[in-house]
A and B are shown apart, each in its own frame.
Chain A
């Protein structure tokens, strides 16, 4: 009987389901830096609150609304850069082990786990540059932070988001002629789909936009300007995109907290999006007009 079943798939090319991993958004974004306090200040101006510490490493968890940002200052052998880099994305999936296995079968590079006693072994694969992509399946009944992190006492564990800010996407800088390669990477391993060129968000419409199969976030791939000679391997996760239902209100609230934005081209442009000025050499945030269908729990 099993033979018969497999032959149906072979003969009729049954498409894989559109969301093969049961992807369900981003669990956290991780920055690596040797200046965690300076980056912490930047994050706090953006409305994040430090809420928990890692049990064994120099790692802090920041949160606002349902966005989790991890600041990792734990150097494991290699020296950490002063300029913060986005070093990991954690994807929420139906089954982390299955997602990991599926990615490896398709040619992803595994990252060997370095787990301390009683810590969670979160499977990860190599992403762009030196970054990692984690698979997390514990985000509903209990969270990964319950195991690996200690809450900072007296701090609200669920700080509300400034102006309803939520996670929207991530911008990835890529090399010349690399758009097709990275599109294939995200499509084959996770089920991302290409958005039509006419479909753009915010004020920085360059490159190609990929939509997650759960339709809750986006990856934007940006090649260098034409004519730029790119010799170095400078592909990286460049910045986080945050969605806000009312961008001017969010800009106003964040300006009040000391965040500077690039001057816009007027209120109409402000309503679509904004880009914060780069700090610490490398850190900026993009605001994008985006109304969520359902309020996050």
Chain B
């Protein structure tokens, strides 16, 4: 008999932490006791039997899809570049919709071809949210710390507030906050209902000195919360978000080259330890919340 332990239904893994085919990733995540997964577009389009088969595999896994990532460099373009990006966005939205996923992650533009005019950025973000709206998809806009115009979450928040679309909110990646030493009290300006996703990751260095090092760390050397040297900061951040009233999902956005060459179960188990630490010790949950649905194991 499998004992239900811990309460971390709102924590999920991200497929980018794991190597191997989609089905193996889903099984490992499910096997570690998670009920949700953050998917990347290439999980679908890279599937050997095509993206529709990937959608079927996700549905068969019984895992809920936390969100779908990632639309890059959407805002601020003009002319044919804008039209091209609208097509990319529509294609991603269609896949997201097919997954019954209700969240698309879009990160701030790094493109030197993009406008820096806030009015243009706001107009484009509104348009993206409108494209997602009939499909019942929310757009979480995230400030990449190496974004060209928007590189800290208060700037992203400012555009989101100006755009004033009900289905446009903030995607919040803790890595960028820690890496740029953004003070926690900045979080207080956020409306918790407009934080659509929180991504958590730790890393091993005490300090990041350059943008180049930040990009390299973000893409290759992240670890699960509790495994790096910023555990206390992550704990404080998670508590702060909870105090602000955030009750949405947490996803482990852990890009790590070493994890890519470890057995999937081992990596998923590390994620589980991390989730249990956050759920039980940081947020101090002792019993499952009442009325939370628990997923059944999928039929074998």
Contact = CB atoms under 8 A, between A and B. Distances in A.
By size class, the interface of chain B is 10 to 19
A108 B130 contact: yes
A22 interface: no
A126 interface: yes
Contact of A184 (B100, B119, B131, B133): B133
Given A188-B126, A189-B130, 8 more contacts: A109-B134, A127-B134, A128-B134, A181-B166, A184-B133, A184-B167, A185-B130, A233-B136
A12 interface: no
A107 B166 contact: no
Contact of A126 (B119, B134, B136, B167): B134
Contacts of B103: none
Contacts of A235: 136
A189 B136 CA distance: 17
Interface string A108-127: 11000000000000000011
Contacts of A199: none
B127 A105 contact: yes
A202 to B, nearest CB: 27
B10 to A, nearest CB: 18
A178 interface: yes
Interface string A123-148: 00011100000000000000000000
A15 B130 CA distance: 20
A107 B136 contact: no
By size class, the interface of chain A is 20 to 34
A188 B136 contact: no
Interface in B144-197: 165-167
B127 A106 contact: yes
B128 interface: yes
A189 B133 CA distance: 12
Given A180-B166, A184-B165, A188-B126, A109 B136 contact: no
A109 to B, nearest CB: 7
Interface in A249-279: none
Contacts of B136: 175, 178, 181, 233, 235
Contacts of B126: 106-107, 188
Lowest 10 A-B CB distances belong to which pairs? Answer: A107-B130, A180-B166, A107-B127, A107-B131, A181-B166, A181-B133, A181-B167, A185-B133, A184-B166, A126-B134
Contacts of A108: 130
Interface of A: 10, 105-109, 126-128, 175, 178, 180-185, 188-189, 233, 235
Interface string B53-96: 00000000000000000000000000000000000001000000
Nearest to B125: A107
A296 B298 CA distance: 60
> Which secondary structure dominates where chain B touches chain A?
helix
Nearest to B124: A107
Contacts of B130: 106-108, 184-185, 188-189
B129 interface: yes
A63 B76 CA distance: 47
14 contacts: A107-B128, A107-B133, A126-B134, A127-B134, A175-B136, A178-B136, A181-B166, A182-B133, A184-B130, A184-B165, A184-B166, A184-B167, A188-B130, A235-B136
Q: Which of A105, A109, A128, A175 has the most CB of B within 10 A?
A: A109
B212 to A, nearest CB: 35
Nearest to A129: B134
B58 to A, nearest CB: 15
Contacts of B119: 10
Nearest to B119: A10
Given A178-B136, A181-B133, A185-B133, A109 B90 contact: yes
Contacts of A188: 126, 130
Q: Which of A107, A127, A175 has the most CB of B within 10 A?
A: A107
Nearest to A185: B133
Contacts of B129: 107
A128 B133 CA distance: 9
Nearest to A107: B130
Contacts of A10: 119
A235 B129 CA distance: 18
Nearest to A235: B136
Contact of B134 (A105, A180, A185): A185
A15 B129 CA distance: 21
A183 B165 CA distance: 10
A228 B130 CA distance: 26
A106 B131 CA distance: 8
A78 B126 CA distance: 32
A106 B127 CA distance: 5
A49 to B, nearest CB: 34
Contacts of B133: 107, 181-182, 184-185
Contacts of B134: 109, 126-128, 185
A184 B134 CA distance: 11
A64 to B, nearest CB: 31
